[in-house]
Amino acid sequence: MDISGVRAAPGSVGEVSMTEGGGARPLQGVRVLDLSRFIAGPICGQILGDFGAEVVKVERPGGEDSRHHAPYFKGESLFTMLYNRNKYGITLDTRHPRALSILEKLIGWADVVIENYRPGTIEQMGIGYQRMRELRPDIILVSISGFGQTGPDSRRALFDAIAQASSGLMSITGDPDGAPTLTGTYVSDYVTGYQGAMGAFGAIMHKWRTGEGQMVDVASLDSSFALLGTRLIAQLMLGKAMPRSGSRDLLTAPVNVYSCLDGSIYIQAGTQSLFPKLCRVIRRPDLIDDQRYASVDARMLHQAELEAIVAEWSAGQTAFDIARQLDDAGIPNAKVATVADVAASPQIRARGMITEIEHASLGTLRFPASPIKMERSPLDTYKAPPTVGEDNNEVYSRILGMSGEEIAELRSSGAI
């Protein structure tokens, strides 16, 4: 089944794209209308674009709010660049009298629509799910929101930090005796965007089999709640609260960050098989048969004294020397890297995790590449993230069939 209907002419936005390996991209021909902003929705659209979907991103004239977030490269926000590669960018004032008819035509073109407005907003705009189905019966709508489309909190506003706080994630992050702490990145938004993309993939597969579209409802609260791991299931099944553990492992010991001569190193040696290996590396084989450390549970009861022994051993050595000994013994470890360290990592380079692409006006842009490595249809960055309205002429003329004069009139009226 051809999900996208009539293919676009060669050289247009909808042209079938080929990867460097010569194979068609997995989602070639799938058309995506991205009405989202900030992080979670744009990440969802970007992933579909990485897989080869033709993604048209709509934002207000002048650009979405995130374009005003520092830092900037040649006047353009790096924040917005990060989540919008492999997309074609157009502008549209959704409050303009001409906007509704334009949105309806774009929805009729699309296989998938992504939005992350507060629930109820797209209905107020006149393009709710039922209206989308009238325009295109097999439409897939991916609705990404803070609290979901249902429930008593569904209409509340949410950003990443609110998701971390409300889901319990913040309460389990930080030192045991310290305050609840945000993670170092927008983890709730990222995971929600990934979940949205997975939902879109599933809906696309269902559509290929049956011809049916559907709505995909993804909530940031739900996505963050699902990250709580053992703490959550212990609460659900045992009524047991498991407190914050800082940099320690929740379940095994000794596992922690240890100081060394040139920084810090994380050592993971708490399992039954790893602990004896660590004892031999640190030249304390006597600890192996010590009943205080004979089991996982026993070591958890005595983790502070165990960590003190490991810390004394690590303090007088470099991270390189420690890692060499632990690697030889098969014990997982890593020097705690800075962002600058990992950006220059030979392993990251070998994995192709930094990609470069040329932008017509901004020059060379560098981004994290997709972490998904596919043998037959490898993913790549084939279009730089657009500046505001960069692709207005191309998209409005091809999809909507507008003349140059009509596009100019829309621009002068403030519609785009």
Neighbour tally for 342: CB within 10 Å: 11
CA 188 – CA 161 distance, rounded (Å):
8
Closest among 96, 143, 146 to 123, alpha carbons compared:
143
CA 332 – CA 249 distance, rounded (Å):
13
Return the CA Rg of the chain: 25
Token pair of 182 as six digits: 């945000």
Q: What share of the chain is helix, strand, coil (3-state, %, to 5)?
A: 40, 15, 45
- How many residues belong to the chain? 416
Answer yes or no: 50 catalytic: no
**Dihedral sign (CA 314, 320, 325, 331):** positive
Residue type at 361 in one-letter notation: S
Residue 67 Cα distances to 62, 77, 80, 264, 392, angstroms: 9, 5, 6, 36, 18
**Dihedral sign (CA 230, 233, 239, 244):** positive
* Residue tagged active-site, from 50, 111, 160, 189: 189
Side by side, the strands of the sheet bearing 140-145 are 88-91, 54-59, 31-34, 112-115, 140-145, 214-219
Residues tagged active-site: 189
